[in-house]
Structure 1
Amino acid sequence: MSLENEMTSKLDISAISPFNFDLSVRIFSDGDPEIRKYENGMFWQVLRTDQGLVLVTVESEDAENLTVKMESTEELSPKNLKSISNMVNKIFNLDMDLNPFYREIESDDVMNRITDRLHGLKNPTTPTLFEALVDSVAEQQLSLKAAHSIENRVIKSFGPSINIKGKTCYAYPTPEDFAFLELQKLRDCGLSFRKSEYIRDLSLGILNHEIDLDQIGKLNSTQDMIDELCKIRGVGVWTGELAVLRGLGRLDALPADDIGLRRAISHFYRDDVRISADEACEIAHNWGKWKGLAGYYLIVAEIMGLKV
């Protein structure tokens, strides 16, 4: 889709304090600039509205206030401006109040020092549970670096695109984009045969109304959500935990089987001695219902090389 008659809109959004925009989006610094990226104080990503694809650029001039620029083929309606505002809010968890989390972990000296260093960090959430679920399937038994390379190829191969000022940007594929693909096309992106099957079958199940991710997202408890996701072929406990954490912002979910998370917990709590999932859960007990967010803080702290 080429934006020959490009329209630009802007809106301002405020986050609940405390919020540090740079810390919260720094995780995207290594992102693909044609998909999602943070660079020179700007974050950009293509989002979907009823009026089509929109390239959204987000900047922060001070701690809690964001400026959102939207480039599209036509002037966006008030409904779609509101929709984009809600999506940006969800992506950055702007409505989350971090203060209860900080109070919860005050007795944990290690986590307390880390949150002091990363004050205002909020974890990102994907626009949809579908996106989080597909990514989690792709990342099964792979390093994040390898998985992200595969995910980027999948997005560029099957996701719709827009062209702005000569630059092409891609949106995440939908179930319709995956449902009728030949498995070999997914395998050509680096996915295994089984993962290709899982992603295609998930997409078909959604289109055939056999899988309702919206209803799963409305369940009362995180465990109920994970249990329902685990009924989907190819989704185990780790995949379900990761998907609800990333896609629904269920911060009580702790994917303790995740090697990277266990490494980060071990680094700060056990002097890099390898720990089991049960040991990780035991350490995480002090974090209450904020286990997933605390785990994210540890991963970011490790990536940044913080000494605490």
Structure 2
Amino acid sequence: MVANQSVDLVIKVPKEFSFKENSSYMQRSSNECMFEIRDDKVVKVIPTADNVSLVEISESTDGNLVLRFLGDTYPVNKKVRNEVELYVREWFDLDNDLKPFYEMAKNDLLLQKAIDEFYGLRNVGIPDLFEALTWGILGQQINLTYAYTLKRRLVETFGKSIEWEDRQYWIFPEAKDIANLTVEDLAPLKMTIKKCEYLIGVAQLIVEGSISKSLVMGNGNFKEAENMLVKIRGIGPWTANYVLMRCLRFPNAFPIADVGLHNAIKHLTGAEEKPTKEEILKIAAPWEGWESYATFYLWRFLY
């Protein structure tokens, strides 16, 4: 690494991208510990195979993204810089053409309001599989506020950090950091015993190579990927589809049992009761192939 070097890396974004909408979404919780937003800039540690970079992401005057490597974390190796750029592209789902989604949504009674309000919002993802699975496990059957609390406890107990300008920027624990722990080791986090067991079990599967992004994605068959995930202890259909949506980018991933989705539909339709599964399937019929984005946009009304 080169000390005190600040380098701009420009990432061109598609027309259907709004830095304002995405950063607004990212500020939905004041307890987020994996990045910080200040002065309209996102600051995050991005680890790669051979390097750890602290990156500041901002919007250029022409609407593209500008990356600055902060402190002494500038990677001399071009391969590493490319990996950082790829991470950001994946994080903001920049390589996904949303034109067909917007064409479909503008004629949909629920989604037309969503795309009017949140045009340019991307499915801000979780590129690391272990982090995505962990977030899915932590969020099971609790509210979003407490899920963020559990994540912070996990990260600050078992993760590493970089200090810059008297602030700490955290790196999510790797699977190898969790695989050899016991339930007792995780007890101070104050999550259920079952969640502790699930988390350790997932970490062990990743460490031993039984599960990885490439294995789950396989030949791109959604059902095969879903089946592989639900075979893991602690990963039910909701968690599996959440991970398929936020990490593995399957466009038809659909956490149909999600309470937030139900509440968003109830809110937009003015119904007195939450929709049944059959009603949701009927409503979602026009969304075929875009269920993940439809869900994400509807969530935005609540979160």
Distance 1:182 1:253 in 2: 32
Deviations for 1:154-196, whole angstroms, at most 9, x for unmatched residues?
Answer: 1111111111122211111111111111322322112211111
Identity over the aligned pairs, expressed in percent? 26
- Work out whether residues 13 and 64 of structure 2, in 8 Å CA contact, stay in contact via their aligned partners in 1: yes
- Work out whether residues 53 and 74 of structure 2, in 8 Å CA contact, stay in contact via their aligned partners in 1: no
Aligned to 1:306: none
Q: Quote the offset at 1:218 in angstroms.
A: 3.1
Q: Quote the offset at 1:10 in angstroms.
A: 2.1
Aligned to 1:13: 11
**Structure 2: where are the runs of 5+ without partners?**
none
SS of residue matched to 2:7? strand
Normalising by structure 2, we get a TM-score of 0.92
Instruction: Evaluate the alpha carbon distance shift between residue 295 and residue 204 of structure 1 in structure 2; reply closer, same or farther with a 3 A threshold.
Output: same
- Which stretch shifts more, 32-41 or 130-139? 32-41
Distance 1:278 1:7 in 2: 56
Aligned to 1:81: 81
Aligned to 1:67: 66
Instruction: Evaluate the alpha carbon distance shift between residue 162 and residue 111 of structure 1 in structure 2; reply closer, same or farther with a 3 A threshold.
Output: same
Read off the aligned partner of 2:14 and give its amino acid letter.
Answer: I
Q: Quote the offset at 1:211 in angstroms.
A: 2.6
Aligned to 1:171: 171
Deviations for 1:68-96, whole angstroms, at most 9, x for unmatched residues?
Answer: 11224454310011000000000011122
* Number of residue pairs aligned between Structure 1 and Structure 2: 301
Instruction: Evaluate the alpha carbon distance shift between residue 43 and residue 272 of structure 1 in structure 2; reply closer, same or farther with a 3 A threshold.
Output: farther
- Work out whether residues 253 and 291 of structure 1, in 8 Å CA contact, stay in contact via their aligned partners in 2: yes
Aligned to 1:27: 25
- Work out whether residues 127 and 247 of structure 2, in 8 Å CA contact, stay in contact via their aligned partners in 1: yes
Aligned to 2:150: 150
Aligned to 2:57: 58
Aligned to 1:241: 241
SS of residue matched to 2:290? helix
Distance 1:31 1:217 in 2: 33
Read off the aligned partner of 1:18 and give its amino acid letter.
Answer: E
- Which stretch shifts more, 89-98 or 31-40? 31-40
Distance 1:74 1:121 in 2: 29
- Work out whether residues 31 and 38 of structure 1, in 8 Å CA contact, stay in contact via their aligned partners in 2: no
Aligned to 1:278: 278
Q: Quote the offset at 1:148 in angstroms.
A: 1.1
Distance 2:15 2:218 in 1: 27
Aligned to 1:91: 91
Instruction: Evaluate the alpha carbon distance shift between residue 259 and residue 80 of structure 1 in structure 2; reply closer, same or farther with a 3 A threshold.
Output: same
Distance 1:102 1:265 in 2: 19
**How large is the RMSD of aligned CA atoms in angstroms?**
2.0
Read off the aligned partner of 1:92 and give its amino acid letter.
Answer: F
- Which stretch shifts more, 32-41 or 197-206? 32-41
**Structure 1: where are the runs of 5+ without partners?**
304-308
Normalising by structure 1, we get a TM-score of 0.91
- Work out whether residues 91 and 124 of structure 1, in 8 Å CA contact, stay in contact via their aligned partners in 2: yes
SS of residue matched to 1:188? helix
Q: Quote the offset at 1:62 in angstroms.
A: 4.1
Q: Quote the offset at 1:59 in angstroms.
A: 0.5
Distance 2:211 2:234 in 1: 13
- Work out whether residues 206 and 212 of structure 2, in 8 Å CA contact, stay in contact via their aligned partners in 1: yes
Alignment of 1:171-250 (within 5 A): 171-250=171-250
